[in-house]
Structure 1
Amino acid sequence: MTTLYHVLGAKQFDRELLDKLFGSAKEMEQVAARGGAQRFPNKIMSTLFFEASTRTRFSFESAMHRLGGRVIGTENASQFSSTIKGETLEDTIRIIAGYSDLIVMRHTDIGAAKRAAAVSGVPVINAGDGSGEHPTQALLDLYTIQKEFGGIEGLHIAMIGDLTYGRTVHSLSYLLANYRDVHISFISPDNVRIPSYVKQYLDEKGVSYEETTDLTGLAGTADVFYQTRIQKERFPSPEEYSKAEGQYIIDRKLLELMKRQALILHPLPRAGEIHPEVDDDPRAAYFRQAQNGLYIRMALIEKCLTEQA
């Protein structure tokens, strides 16, 4: 599959499409460095965010501006859209599709992006749907790993923290299934383990993985440490949150156990699970990772709008 219209989930990406997208993202780095290009001067992108966002919304909006397009939208659609009056998501999307050429949507409900795509007359990009998926974050994560290591095959990836509600982990796991000899270590408290449906997909694709609670024991063997926040807002109760909070922290002590060429990633925002003393270490790539989000999203916008045409 080399075409792309909607971006709804990580499973829709195969190796050929990933290679083309990453090649385009590399080109977009140069476009952005030159201040942008007028590739879509007559196109309008709508950003419809029902959940709070900094990196995802700003990088998408910056990406559209860098490509010469325009942006309309709301950062608090749950309050500043007609859904507060009882309008269905489907009706909202039908209306917004008539005003724009592309919709980027973040929603609280799993599957909301697919519902939107089913009625939209323009491409829809999933910018996160509850605890389901976050495909564009996973794409920039994977792009960062490829840039930093020069490839992805043969790497040992440790995913740490909230693996039940961590949609970025789900999407990244699906994308990693496109590469050979990748091993994933899922490291989490017992009450936020990786969901069975993610493991089932990895089993079907023949991906090697393990589940453990021991971060220290794997610190010297993993190539990538993908740390995630324990998402208080997604837990069913404060008691369940307290069971998981604060168990895994990357600090200077853990750095001393890591490989010299290891990589530390985080989808951000962080909430204490990476100590600020780690920031100056060359292995800390999470701010470079966030910057790569601009280039990946520029590449996605270009591909979606080109396919639309």
Structure 2
Amino acid sequence: MTISTVVKRHLETGTSSVRHLLSTRDVTRHDVTRWMARAEELRVMSAKDRQTILAGSVVAAIFYEPSTRTRLSFESAVLRLGGRVISAENALEHSSAKKGERLEDVFRVLGCYADAIVIRHHENDAMAMAAPQSPVPIINAGAGSGEHPTQALLDVYTIWRELGQVDGLEICIMGDLRYGRTVHSLLQLLTKYRNVSVTLLHPASLGLPEEMMQALRSRGLSIQTTQDLTSALSRADIVYQTRIQTERLSCIDEALGTEKFHLTSASLSVMKPSARILHPLPRVDEIHPEVDDDPRAAYFRQVENGLYMRMAILEDMVRR
């Protein structure tokens, strides 16, 4: 059962009026535009004025898998808006999950303590199945190899800030497309935009799941695959690089051929002067450090953009 199916069924039964952010499939283009506009306002707002926005609110952050950027980005966003954070890191080992507690019960309990729950989970669909039991909004901060919607939202925000548009762009996505949840969410979000053309480059065993490929094409997204790195880079307005999800590989052979898709200074020589390079981070060796100083490398600006996008999302969902 997909996240969208669970949410749709839940809404149809009328059992809750709480809005969750579980998948980019459940986000409208209007939502994205509204959050980007608010992120721009929050960026220039005084710290004093921002501190009143979530004053008195508490957000629970519970992470069953490791995280640096996402967890601290959310926690910083809450604090900058004047709210408070209660958190559990490595919750798979250091929470009642170790005792076998069901996620439905976790949401019921945390909903007594907090006004929203930010969660990263090791299973693709567990939080979607449990979300209907939560009395407060659930924000998906990464679900197994499934989705990572707030990363996709900050990615699109970065594209818009860097190039001034999303419609009509050529986007090259590279790396682990099978297990890369950031890619899954980004591709779903790109279906909201017009005339976007996507080229996929990946090791043979790490391609986009076929069911997802068909679903994206049925929603009008133009997708092609290629092994010609030079050609794809030369056409791209956006190059979205990802790391190999080694922690999710069934065997090491799945990673064979990954070095072919690394970005180096030689890669830069074939790219457009106006192109931009994005990466959800962390990186390993798929983008060489020599690329960092090129003005087209936008991945650290992307991190900063994520702070303001998550501030906008939290304000909207916690105060709803």
Superposition TM-score, scaled by structure 1 size: 0.95
SS at match of 2:130: helix
Residue 14 of structure 1: aligned partner: 28
Q: Give 1:1-309 correspondences, 5 Å limit.
A: 5-31=19-45, 36-241=50-255, 243-307=256-320
Aligned partners of 2:48 and 2:213: how far apart in 1? 43
One-letter amino acid matched to 2:185 = S
Question: Contact conserved, 1:190 with 1:213, CA < 8 A, in 2?
Answer: no
SS at match of 1:78: helix
Aligned partners of 2:100 and 2:18: how far apart in 1? 32
CA RMSD of aligned residues (A): 1.5
**How much has 1:79 moved relative to structure 2?**
1.2
Per-residue displacement from partner, 1:55-101 (whole Å, max 9, x unpaired)? 10000000000110000011210111101011111112211111111
Residues 32 and 219 (structure 1), Cα distance of their counterparts in 2 relative to 1, 3 Å cut: farther
Aligned partners of 2:115 and 2:144: how far apart in 1? 24
Higher helix fraction (1 or 2): 2
Structure 1 window deviating more from structure 2 (74-83 vs 140-149): it is: 74-83
**How much has 1:199 moved relative to structure 2?**
1.5
One-letter amino acid matched to 1:292 = N
Aligned partners of 1:203 and 1:33: how far apart in 2? 44
One-letter amino acid matched to 2:91 = A
Residues 120 and 106 (structure 1), Cα distance of their counterparts in 2 relative to 1, 3 Å cut: same
Per-residue displacement from partner, 1:246-272 (whole Å, max 9, x unpaired)? 231111001000000000000000000
One-letter amino acid matched to 1:181 = N
Question: Contact conserved, 2:47 with 2:80, CA < 8 A, in 1?
Answer: no
- Unpaired runs of 5+ residues, structure 1, are none
Aligned partners of 2:37 and 2:126: how far apart in 1? 29
**How much has 1:239 moved relative to structure 2?**
2.5
**How much has 1:35 moved relative to structure 2?**
8.1
Residues 32 and 192 (structure 1), Cα distance of their counterparts in 2 relative to 1, 3 Å cut: farther
Aligned partners of 1:52 and 1:31: how far apart in 2? 32
Residues 164 and 237 (structure 1), Cα distance of their counterparts in 2 relative to 1, 3 Å cut: same
**How much has 1:217 moved relative to structure 2?**
2.1
**How much has 1:4 moved relative to structure 2?**
8.3
**How much has 1:167 moved relative to structure 2?**
0.6
- Unpaired runs of 5+ residues, structure 2, are 1-16
Aligned residues: 304
Q: State the identity as a percent.
A: 48
Structure 1 runs of 4+ aligned residues shifted over 6 Å read: 32-35
